[in-house]
């Protein structure tokens, strides 16, 4: 019985993590880049 309780305690944070991933949206990624679509060679890549 105590082993079952220990297993349940171990599973609880995993279930919480699953719930968190399914409910919480990833943080927004920011706005569209202000850089233009290029019409000239931007030169050597740094």
Partner 1 sequence: MRRRASLVLLALAVFCVAMAPTLRWYAFPRLAKIPPNQYQETVLEAQPATLLNYSTLKAEKVDKITIIQTLKGNVEESRRIERDAGRDVVVWDALAYITGPDGKMVSQVPERYIFDAHTQDPVNATGESVDGDPVRREGIEFKWPFLTEKRDYQYFDAQTRTSSPIHYKGTRTFRGMEVYYFEQTIPWTKVPMPKSMPVKIPPEVIAESGLTRWYTTKRMFWIEPVTGAPVNGEEIHKEELRNARALMGVDTLTVFEGHVKMREDYIESVGEMVASNRLTVLLLVSYVPWSLTFLALLLLALALWLEARSRRPAPEPAAPLTPPVSAARS
Interacting residue ranges for partner 1, rule: CB under 8 A: 2-3, 5-7, 9-11, 13-14, 17-18, 21-22, 26, 29-33, 35-42, 44-45
The pair of three-digit structure tokens given for residue 36, joined into one six-digit string: 């233009």
Q: How far is the CB of 43 from partner 1 (least distance, A)?
A: 9
Q: How far is the CB of 19 from partner 1 (least distance, A)?
A: 11
Q: How far is the CB of 15 from partner 1 (least distance, A)?
A: 8
Query: How many angstroms separate the Cα of 42 from the Cα of each of 10, 13, 22, 35, 46?
Result: 54, 49, 41, 12, 11
Residue 46 three-state SS: coil
């Amino acid at each position: 019985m105590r082993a079952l309780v220990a297993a349940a305690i171990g599973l609880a944070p995993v279930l919480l993590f699953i719930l968190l991933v399914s409910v919480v949206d990833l943080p927004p990624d920011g706005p569209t880049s202000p850089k233009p679509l290029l019409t000239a060679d931007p030169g050597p890549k740094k």
